[in-house]
Structure 1
Amino acid sequence: MHEPVMLDRVLALFAPALGDRDAVLVDATLGLGGHADALLSEHPSLRLIGLDRDPEALDRSRDRLARHGSRVHLVHAVYDRMPEVLADLGLAKVDGVLFDLGVSSMQLDMRERGFAYSTDAPLDMRMDPTAGITAADVLNTYPVAELTRVLREYGEERFAHRIARAVVAEREREPFRTSERLVKLVYEAVPAATRRTGGHPAKRTFQALRIEVNGELEALRRALPAALDALAVGGRIVVESYHSLEDRMVKRALAARARSRTPEGLPVELAGHGPELRLLTRGAEQASEEEARRNPRAKPVKLRAAERIANGGNAA
């Protein structure tokens, strides 16, 4: 059974923005609808716009959320299309935006999707299996330099060049099709001393391939400012990230709008230069030890949240 990560904290953070009014919230990463279901149940007047790039996730969430009726509107879209989706619905502003980033439990559990390195499966890794390149395409066509970049930037892999060279040499013998062969190659390419620490040596390579295949960081880079622009004054954004690259991007996006843009030394705040956001978390919050034991997916989570306090820096 899917368990939404840090659900109680998410509900508490959104409560002031959604309670006692006809509010609208965008769940930008709907997944199996766990957070969405709880938010709709908590707030009987809430209208929820759910986005997901995975058609199967949308189908499952549609069934799960059916009891909420017309308060739910689901859209097959990546979260960087949020402005377009809101414009189509005639919505200028919303009261909440939720991002629960990364690969979903359903995607990890479905062997044929190829996200997990623990079982032999086709090297697909597309969150939307109807579009785009696969992980096999990346492995079989990217030159050494480009593969190295992907592994180093998205997997933070110290031995990126070494693994990339091994992949290119091995694909000359036979193209990559399934994960078992890649896992073995990575294991052999990484020095023995490194294999003994930091988890499975293939973890970083699989993360990098998944991010490249789905364009995750580029989509997030576009989506964060769009989500913040869509928030009404008093609206809130909550973001759950699962690796440092995402969290760093979220931290910078929120911090940039939580600062005054009035030049230092001036005695008063210039109109239109004040902070747009108030940070609601001190740094990144993490799941409790008890939740991490109960739900291993919660262990790496970093949650950040903010409230819109002004439009374009003007006082609310």
Structure 2
Amino acid sequence: MNSGSELRHIPVMLDEAVEGLAVQAGGRYLDGTFGRGGHARAVLSRLGPEGRLLLMDRDPQAIAAAQDLAADPRVSIRHANFSTLADWDATAAGLDGVLLDLGVSSPQLDEAARGFSFMADAPLDMRMDTTQGESAADFLAHAPEQAIADVLWTYGEERFSRRIARAIVEQRAEVPIARTGELAALIERVVGRREPGKHPATRSFQALRIRVNGELDALQQGLDAALERLKVGGRLAIISFHSLEDRAVKLFIRDHSGRVQGNRRGPPVAAAPARLKAVGKAQFPSAAELAANPRARSAVLRVAEKLA
């Protein structure tokens, strides 16, 4: 999540992420979540004439923002989900590093018309790629009540998921929910203000965004693709913003570390050959960064290196 507004863009854990990539002047790197380019520009500044930087983003507005780098012969740009990075011919030669900054970006949050936030009334869209797929409003207009409840519980850990889903279905029988303000107000009526300092719609909006954008599936596909494209010694640096993402990243690194897996109810499972090793422990924003950029508060950075 590239924090900051259009006017003051603050990339999260910038120094830590770039250091984790161990950028070589002549290396080939991929930023799969360009956003507004804070991390990408820092990587580019460390590349020499032979270095290459590949940029991807599923958001057309992010790709438009990347065009000021298009004239640099070291840079290539692709409008696509990072889950498809292995389909890009430019990655076939192998990569020395892959950076993924997950979740919704601050420009997406701050532009009310995108429908990600309940802080302003706007069309209930939530699509990162506005050129395809169904919006959150479309999903809520036709999904069965149980499916809505499952999404809210699975992706938002919303304990009032069934109550909210029932209210949504009852509401749409009269008028479909089409705007962020309508949904936020409905959720507040249903569950009330139960967490100080946290809007009651927070978990539901997160859950719908993850579902609409297929974020967890994209993450798993992107991790698999990155592992295949990384060269031996190449680095994978991933910044996540909620426990579902971070758990997936942590387990991916663990499962490819060559460690024997087992549990108390059965014999250990033979480990596959090690293909990744964690580089250090999970890192978190410093107190100074949190003071300057509160949106970084839930960020977690994990770095791994590909093994022979």
1:92 Cα shift? 3.5
The equivalent residue for 1:299 is: 297
**Residue 173 of structure 1: SS of its match in structure 2?**
coil
1:191 Cα shift? 4.8
Q: Report if the CA contact (8 A) 1:27-1:98 is conserved.
A: yes
Alignment equivalent of 1:5, drawn from 12, 32, 51 = 12
1:54 aligns to 2:54 (yes or no): no
**Partner amino acid, structure 1, of 2:32:** A
**Partner amino acid, structure 1, of 2:274:** P
How far, CA to CA, are the matches of 1:48 and 1:91 in structure 2? 14
How far, CA to CA, are the matches of 1:273 and 1:156 in structure 2? 33
Change (3 A) 1:278 1:196: closer
The equivalent residue for 1:257 is: 256
The equivalent residue for 1:266 is: none
CA-to-aligned-CA distance 1:177-226 (integer Å, 9 cap, x gap): 1111111110111155xx23461110111001111111111111111111
The equivalent residue for 2:285 is: 287
Query: After superposition, where does 1:22-37 map in structure 2 within 5 Å?
Result: 22-37=26-41
The equivalent residue for 2:267 is: none
Query: After superposition, where does 1:7-22 map in structure 2 within 5 Å?
Result: 7-15=14-22, 18-20=23-25, 22=26
Change (3 A) 1:196 1:42: same
Unaligned runs of 5+ in 1: 264-271, 311-316
Q: Report if the CA contact (8 A) 1:261-1:274 is conserved.
A: no
CA-to-aligned-CA distance 1:258-278 (integer Å, 9 cap, x gap): 124699xxxxxxxx9542222
The equivalent residue for 1:79 is: 82
Aligned residues: 292
The equivalent residue for 1:93 is: 94
Cα root mean square deviation, aligned = 1.8
1:143 aligns to 2:144 (yes or no): yes
Work out the percentage of aligned pairs sharing the same amino acid.
46
Change (3 A) 1:186 1:127: same
1:115 Cα shift? 0.5
More helix by share: 1
TM-score of the superposition, structure 1-length normalised?
A: 0.88
Q: Report if the CA contact (8 A) 1:277-1:307 is conserved.
A: yes
**Residue 209 of structure 2: SS of its match in structure 1?**
helix
The equivalent residue for 2:166 is: 165
The equivalent residue for 1:200 is: 199
Q: Report if the CA contact (8 A) 1:262-1:274 is conserved.
A: no
TM-score of the superposition, structure 2-length normalised?
A: 0.90
The equivalent residue for 1:175 is: 176
**Residue 175 of structure 1: SS of its match in structure 2?**
coil
Larger RCO of the pair (alpha carbons < 8 Å, separation 6+): 2
**Residue 9 of structure 2: SS of its match in structure 1?**
coil
**Residue 173 of structure 2: SS of its match in structure 1?**
helix
**Partner amino acid, structure 2, of 1:83:** A
**Partner amino acid, structure 2, of 1:136:** A
How far, CA to CA, are the matches of 2:287 and 2:108 in structure 1? 25
